[in-house]
Chains A and B, each alone.
Chain A
Amino acid sequence: MQNNITLDKLKKGERAIIHSFRSNELPAKFYELGFTPGTTIQLKHIAPLQGPICVNIIQQDSLIAIRKKEANLILITKI
């Protein structure tokens, strides 16, 4: 379990698999856009000074931007 970190800690270029969520506060739209357990993602870009991050959801080939605050609710396993 020690491999589990939150998504906002991921560094540019690193890949991970979504493991679970820290709370149910995450809006349903996150699941709709593909943040579901078991999904492989890669961190693509980080905006400066606690700005949003851009994640590639590998399976769907889509680039999704979210804020650090919500990324902090998503638990991932680095690969």
Chain B
Amino acid sequence: MKRKTIALLGNPNVGKTSLFNRLTKLNQKVGNYPGVTVDKRIGTLKANAKEYRIIDLPGTYTLFPNSLDEEVVFNILSNQANDDFPDLTVVVTEPSSINRGVVLYQQIRELGLPAIFVINMVDEIEQKGLHIDYTALENYLQTKVFKTNARSGDGIDQLIQNFDIELKPYFGAVDLPQKYRNALEDAKQLFPLATEYLTWQYLAQDNISSLPLEKRSALQTIRESHRLDTQELQKDESISRHDTIASDLMSIVAKKENKRLSTTGKIDNLLIHPVLGYIIFFGLLFIIFQAIYSWAGPLMDSIDTLFAFLADSTAAALPEGPLSALVVNGVIAGIGGIVIFLPQIAILFLFISIMEETGYMSRVVFLMDRWLKPFGLNGKSVIPLMSGAACAIPAVMSARNIENPKERLLTILVTPFMTCSARLPIYIVIIGLVIPDDTFWGFNLQGITLFGMYILGILGALLSALVLNKIIKSIRKSFLIFELPTYKAPDWKNVLNTVWEKSSGFLIGAGKIILAISIILWVLGNFGPNDRFSNPQPYIAEANPEFSQDEIDNEITAYKTEYSYLGYLGRGIEPMIRPLGYDWKVGIGLLASFAAREVFVGTMAVVYSLGEEVDIEDEGQRQTLFERMKGEVNRNTGKPTYNFATGISLLLFYAFAMQCMATIGVVKRETGSWKWTLIQTGFMTGLAYLVALVAYQLLK
């Protein structure tokens, strides 16, 4: 038997995802700002002795799409052939905006889909000063109405029990203005099988990606011959529905003073105050930054100790040799190099998720719109940019609810400049190597440098937006409209869930790549194509006739590394990176980083330990990666590999270069265009090369 599909539809921020999580026991990210869910999500529910497919949809105010996330909704609900076309639609609302929920509900029923009506957040009815006559509402909507509280789970069982409900046919249709009658009759000829309202939807939308091209152009012809403007059609429907629903609901929903709104007003007087609002916002950013660096310290120390212990005991357990070097110096050191940053990443996600849950994020959009507009961005770009400080992948996706295609594209293109958590390990290692641990006016120099790197990321994003803004042509006018939700205390379960999911996702994702890259590097470094690798002594003797036997033996390891596959590869790209101040070993690190930046530290650990035997008995012989990197000498320049000039050059390269396959993949998917993806990768990497080059040449 086919599983029944149930779709959750509703305005943004009414609790659809929270309900979905309750139903499926899956934990999807929720947040108290409109537009958290940007794609459909599917889960299953076993109940009533069968299995249901539950679909969580992005929030929308009507079926007419204004942005990409809303298009997902229309495409699913308008097309019976779609795999996700629901057998039952659950229209979710919250008490104070029932009117807007009814708009969606009517549209769905007029499309011919069965639907039930859910009033979520019933815990807030009292505070919002509402009284609802449920029987009258059920009669008016011609369906069942359910009350739920997605935070506590109240009412969910009742809802599930009714998933097989048989509904009577729905009567009623919106009053479409007479002047569109003829056009609608023409359009009906094109879609003989569709309901009248679906045909109207087709007529009133510009570009329906789910329709075949010839239907689209036929619709366009009808619009032209009747001189119809789609926005006008949508507007007329909106106003007509709005007026009828408002007067119909007058007797069903009674309103007194909304206490939540007045509390929210008081908080807003502070948080979006023209002056205080900004002080509070930047103060908050400062606190976040502080927290990341001070709270995380002790945790990081214990993780460091733990991994040192792990490395020691593994080295003791494994027989000495190259394999032990792979496990200890490659895999354990590489993964340790990521795990140690987990506390910082978790704290960052903690703050972002609290900002989302409480409703503060929308206020940030309100405060920042004016300042982002000159760069060709939109207030809503704040969310991708801020979450870009954690990871660019979800950040790029969160740009979906930006309505204007150009502003959305710009946001996607510049978000990867923000300093993501994967850059942190590299910055900290390199800053530790080349910036003295001194204080300057009471501030720690290394700390200032790190702060500077974050500022650099923001500048990189804004300035490239400015440049790209001049190049990209806009097809539509820019506008901004969004809802500021009432403040809520965060649901800590949600917050912790988000933090847990994001952090473990980061760790697992990075861990897999590090493991794979360590193994590849190890293989490449321990095998060579020719005699110079397998039998190096004669070559060394020939090149250095004055060498004694002992000196030749000392040279062997280095010589073999140089003539391994890895050595050939590194030396192959060396001419390109020599002007930036790097040698071929750093080159290997750079090359591997194009898969994902976070592998840099692990890669260097493998590269620098090649050919070395791990001998844990001898304390003196064992070096940490850090000391090893400090001792490295660039044989081209004779100077330390990591000196001030190369260090700065490396920092700048990592700040700007697009080194993350996963981000490239997401950008391709989100923009649907290889052109922009390649332009972005080229632009970022080119800029990185240029800036690193200039910096090195000036500083060396």
Is the beta-carbon distance between A28 and B64 smaller than 8 angstroms?
A: yes
Binary flags per residue of B340-384, CB closer than 8 Å to A gives 1, else 0? 000000000000000000000010011101100000000100000
Q: Looking across the interface, which residue of chain B has its beta carbon closest to that of A26?
A: B235
Is the beta-carbon distance between B479 and A60 smaller than 8 angstroms?
A: no
Identify which of A28, A38, A46, A69 gathers the most chain B CB atoms within 10 Å of its CB.
A28
Is the beta-carbon distance between A33 and B99 smaller than 8 angstroms?
A: no
- A-contacting 9-mer, from B481-489, B490-498, B589-597, B675-683: B481-489
Determine the distance from Cα of A58 to Cα of B24 in the docked complex, in whole angstroms. 36
A64 / chain B contacts, CB cutoff of 8 Å? 481-484
Is the beta-carbon distance between A24 and B235 smaller than 8 angstroms?
A: yes
Is the beta-carbon distance between B268 and A52 smaller than 8 angstroms?
A: no
B469 contacts the other chain (CB 8 A): no
Q: How many A-B residue pairs have CB under 8 A?
A: 126
B232-285, CB < 8 A from A: 232, 234-235, 238-239, 242-243, 246, 255, 258, 261, 264-265, 268-269, 272, 274-275
B61 / chain A contacts, CB cutoff of 8 Å? 29, 32-33
Known A34-B242, A59-B99, A61-B261; contact A66-B235, beta-carbon cutoff 8 A: no
Known A28-B64, A32-B238, A47-B367; contact A67-B274, beta-carbon cutoff 8 A: no
B199 contacts the other chain (CB 8 A): no
Query: Chain B's nearest CB lies how many Å from the CB of A33?
Result: 6
Determine the distance from Cα of A42 to Cα of B26 in the docked complex, in whole angstroms. 40
Is the beta-carbon distance between B243 and A38 smaller than 8 angstroms?
A: yes
Q: Looking across the interface, which residue of chain B has its beta carbon closest to that of A25?
A: B477
Number of A interface residues at 8 Å Cβ cutoff, please give it.
Answer: 36
Determine the distance from Cα of A30 to Cα of B232 in the docked complex, in whole angstroms. 12
B269 / chain A contacts, CB cutoff of 8 Å? 45
Determine the distance from Cα of A57 to Cα of B658 in the docked complex, in whole angstroms. 44
B207-247, CB < 8 A from A: 229, 231-232, 234-235, 238-239, 242-243, 246
Known A44-B268, A48-B275, A51-B370; contact A61-B480, beta-carbon cutoff 8 A: no
A56 contacts the other chain (CB 8 A): yes
Determine the distance from Cα of A54 to Cα of B99 in the docked complex, in whole angstroms. 20
B66 contacts the other chain (CB 8 A): yes
Query: Chain A's nearest CB lies how many Å from the CB of B249?
Result: 10
B60-90, CB < 8 A from A: 61-62, 64, 66
Query: Chain A's nearest CB lies how many Å from the CB of B475?
Result: 14
B319-335, CB < 8 A from A: none
Determine the distance from Cα of A47 to Cα of B229 in the docked complex, in whole angstroms. 33
Binary flags per residue of B479-523, CB closer than 8 Å to A gives 1, else 0? 111111110000000000000000000000000000000000000
**Chain B interface mostly helix, strand, loop or mixed?**
helix
A13-42, CB < 8 A from B: 24-34, 36-38
B537 contacts the other chain (CB 8 A): no
Determine the distance from Cα of A38 to Cα of B240 in the docked complex, in whole angstroms. 12
Q: Looking across the interface, which residue of chain B has its beta carbon closest to that of A35?
A: B481
Identify which of B246, B362, B481 gathers the most chain A CB atoms within 10 Å of its CB.
B481
B407 contacts the other chain (CB 8 A): no
Pick from B231, B246, B481: contact of A33, CB under 8 Å: B481
Is the beta-carbon distance between B370 and A52 smaller than 8 angstroms?
A: yes
A50 contacts the other chain (CB 8 A): yes
Q: Looking across the interface, which residue of chain B has its beta carbon closest to that of A31?
A: B238
Determine the distance from Cα of A31 to Cα of B275 in the docked complex, in whole angstroms. 31
Query: Chain A's nearest CB lies how many Å from the CB of B638?
Result: 55
Known A36-B242, A45-B268; contact A61-B274, beta-carbon cutoff 8 A: no
B314 / chain A contacts, CB cutoff of 8 Å? none
Q: Looking across the interface, which residue of chain A has its beta carbon closest to that of B250?
A: A59
Query: Chain B's nearest CB lies how many Å from the CB of A23?
Result: 11
B96 contacts the other chain (CB 8 A): yes
Is the beta-carbon distance between A47 and B479 smaller than 8 angstroms?
A: no
Determine the distance from Cα of A11 to Cα of B649 in the docked complex, in whole angstroms. 52
A62 / chain B contacts, CB cutoff of 8 Å? 96-97, 483
Is the beta-carbon distance between B231 and A47 smaller than 8 angstroms?
A: no
Is the beta-carbon distance between B479 and A28 smaller than 8 angstroms?
A: no
Chain B contacts to A: CB under 8 angstroms: 61-62, 64, 66, 96-97, 99-100, 103, 128, 229, 231-232, 234-235, 238-239, 242-243, 246, 255, 258, 261, 264-265, 268-269, 272, 274-275, 362, 365-367, 369-370, 379, 403, 477, 479-486
10 contacts between A and B (CB under 8 A): A24-B235, A26-B235, A31-B234, A33-B61, A33-B483, A45-B268, A47-B369, A52-B369, A56-B261, A70-B480
20 extra interchain contacts, Cβ-Cβ under 8 A, other than A47-B274, A50-B370? A28-B231, A29-B66, A29-B403, A29-B481, A32-B62, A32-B234, A38-B243, A44-B265, A45-B272, A48-B275, A52-B370, A54-B268, A60-B97, A61-B97, A61-B128, A62-B483, A64-B483, A65-B379, A66-B481, A67-B369
